[in-house]
């Protein structure tokens, strides 16, 4: 079972999709999740993504458009959607309060949502996918990762560069890695506590929260607190991914 199939199944087990109009946020280019939503009983899926020309293949009863979830209430219209489905998105959307406000507005009374993602900025790796450099490919979640756990939270960019250099990472690769860690705009770098507080304060009911915990490596909390200031000891560093189920 693919991840898309698994998550749509979880969505359909929690909420009745039969005959419903679903808004998919951050849809994949091949509309795999949208197809599964239709197969699961949805009448119509509006699949959106920020990128231009992002869709690679059409799907029956699915409309794919370039749109910003933060502007969904003006683009789609208020109370026009039965359900919102978004996987692998919580770490990518900026201005979470505006996102949740838009979702609240587009949902019909009794509407529901599933929002899933990886609160990566408080995790051990704190990054996504990989960086390809002259010296090789660096995957931030396996043995090719040259960055110590949580180092993105307590190291400055020059400190990170020095650390990578001490491990023999080529200078051009160091530049690529530090650019990804500190400057890539596709990550919102929100701590889990802030994501959670925003969703819970959205005016929508939270029906269930499901987490998948990563390996507890022992975050260097004191070093992180010295560097970040706005977090405290209540921040969670062990959550690898989280799913919110809610309704209006």
Q: Which of 212, 194, 13 is nearest to 99 (CA)?
A: 194
Quote the pLDDT of residue 178.
94
- 209 forms beta bridges with 244
pLDDT average per 10 residues of sequence, the chain (248 residues)? 94 98 96 97 96 90 95 93 97 95 98 95 83 85 87 94 95 93 90 95 97 79 86 86 96
DSSP for 218-237, please give it: ---HHHHHHHHSS--TT---
Query: Residue 120: what pLDDT?
Result: 87
Distance CA 38, CA 63 (A): 12
Provide the pLDDT for residue 72.
93
Structural domains present in the chain: 3-120+188-217+238-247 (3.40.50.150), 129-183 (no CATH)
Would you state the pLDDT for residue 215? 66
Q: State the pLDDT at residue 179.
A: 92
Angstrom distance (rounded) from CA 192 to CA 199? 11
What is d(CA 181, CA 160) in angstroms, rounded to the nearest whole number?
10
Q: Phi then psi for 130, rounded to 5 degrees?
A: -160, 165
pLDDT at 240: 86
Residue 44: both structure tokens together: 């119509």
Label each residue of 66-89 as H, E or C. Answer: ECCHHHHHHHCCCCCEEEEEECCC
The reported pLDDT for the residue numbered 47 is: 97
Question: Which of 188, 88, 91, 181 shows the shortest CA–CA distance to 138?
Answer: 181
- Looking at residue 216, its pLDDT comes to 66
Number of residues that this document lists for the chain: 248
* Six token digits for residue 20: 């419903």
pLDDT at 168: 92
State the DSSP string of the chain.
Answer: --HHHHHHHHHHHHS--TT-EEEEET--TT-HHHHHHHHTT-SEEEEEESSTT---S--TTEEEEE--GGGHHHHT-TT-EEEEEESS-TTT-S-HHHHHHHHHHHEEEEEEEEEEE--GGGSSS---SEEEETTEEEETTSTT--SPTTHHHH--HHHHHHHHHHTT--HHHHHHHHHHHHH-TT-----HHHHHHHHHTSSSEEEEEEEEE-------HHHHHHHHSS--TT----EEEEEEEEE-
pLDDT at 231: 80
């Amino acid at each position: 079972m693919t991840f898309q199939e698994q998550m749509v199944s979880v969505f359909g087990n929690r909420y009745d999709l039969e005959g419903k109009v679903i808004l998919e946020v951050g849809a994949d280019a091949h509309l795999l999740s949208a197809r599964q939503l239709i197969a699961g009983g949805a009448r119509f899926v509006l699949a959106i993504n920020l990128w231009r020309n992002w869709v690679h293949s059409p799907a029956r009863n699915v409309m794919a458009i370039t749109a910003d979830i933060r502007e969904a209430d003006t683009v789609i219209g208020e109370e026009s959607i039965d359900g919102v489905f978004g996987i692998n998105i919580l770490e990518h959307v900026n201005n979470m309060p505006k996102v949740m406000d838009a979702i609240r507005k587009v949902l019909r009374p009794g509407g529901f949502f599933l929002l899933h993602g990886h609160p990566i900025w408080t995790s051990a790796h704190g990054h996504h996918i990989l960086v390809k450099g002259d010296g090789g490919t660096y995957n931030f979640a396996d043995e090719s990762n040259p960055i110590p756990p949580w180092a993105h939270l307590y190291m400055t960019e020059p400190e990170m560069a020095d650390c990578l250099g001490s491990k023999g990472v080529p200078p051009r690769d160091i530049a690529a890695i530090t650019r990804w860690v500190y400057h890539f705009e596709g990550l919102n770098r929100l701590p889990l506590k802030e994501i959670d507080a925003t969703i819970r304060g959205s005016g929508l009911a939270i029906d269930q929260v499901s987490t998948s915990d990563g390996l507890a490596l022992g975050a260097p909390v004191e070093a992180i607190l010295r560097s970040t200031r706005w977090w405290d000891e209540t921040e969670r560093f062990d959550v690898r991914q989280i799913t919110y189920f809610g309704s209006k």
